[in-house]
Structure 1
């Protein structure tokens, strides 16, 4: 895998699950906002200050974004990131968008995550 440029967002993110059948929330925020509806409920990833209220929320995540846009036929991006983070013992949540890939890691693991990516040859920059 070629060297990737990865941006570390400054704000904390929250991962929330809303009940099955809940209407997808409308969230206005800078940065990544992902709302995914499945048969098991609605999952929301967004900056913590605008996260919807829920009994099933997981605050305390940081966002790493591969600088894009990435070509659709490009392979191995998420595998490279996930493999390097797994080798460092870092849990992740992956989100892909039309233009690029995003990885959320626990705030407590952000230093270990960025170090692992840099040691693997990737550029990691705070934005």
Structure 2
């Protein structure tokens, strides 16, 4: 049985559209961020995109499994989401939280991503 079959999760599509950006190391994150990770090469920020700026930004939609929060010691939870998305050739960007994972997919692939997750046994609201 795949990790997806063993770790069915309830996900929700987070309202809004998001940008994933890389900023130089010395730059502070912009307002409106929902996730940020600082690494030696700079700061990666996930932030909500406001309507007037969406023309130039690559837009992402976010799926979050906070309704089925799990412990950090439970293996396979992220793999259960990523396996069906990889099989459906859906690109992802992931930001993990203490309770669950925020899985971003390109806005243009949202319907395909939701269908792949449902086919793997996950519930998506």
Q: How many residues align?
A: 116
Structure 1 equivalent of residue 62 of structure 2: 63
Tell me the distance in 1 between the aligned counterparts of 2:58 and 2:15: 14
Unaligned ranges ≥5, structure 2: 1-5
Q: Secondary structure at the match of 1:59?
A: coil
Cα offset, 1:111, TM superposition: 0.3
RMSD over equivalenced CA pairs, Å = 2.0
On the 8 A contact 2:32/2:48 being kept in 1, the answer is no
Shifted more, 108-117 versus 59-68: the winner is 59-68
TM-score computed with the length of structure 1 as normaliser: 0.82
**Is residue 102 of structure 1 aligned with residue 107 of structure 2?**
no
Unaligned ranges ≥5, structure 1: none
Cα offset, 1:27, TM superposition: 2.9
Tell me the distance in 1 between the aligned counterparts of 2:59 and 2:47: 11
Which structure: greater helix fraction? Answer: 2
Structure 1 equivalent of residue 48 of structure 2: 47
TM-score computed with the length of structure 2 as normaliser: 0.83
Structure 2 equivalent of residue 27 of structure 1: 31
**Is residue 13 of structure 1 aligned with residue 13 of structure 2?**
no
Which ranges of 4 or more aligned residues in structure 1 deviate by more than 4 Å? none
Shifted more, 41-50 versus 70-79: the winner is 41-50
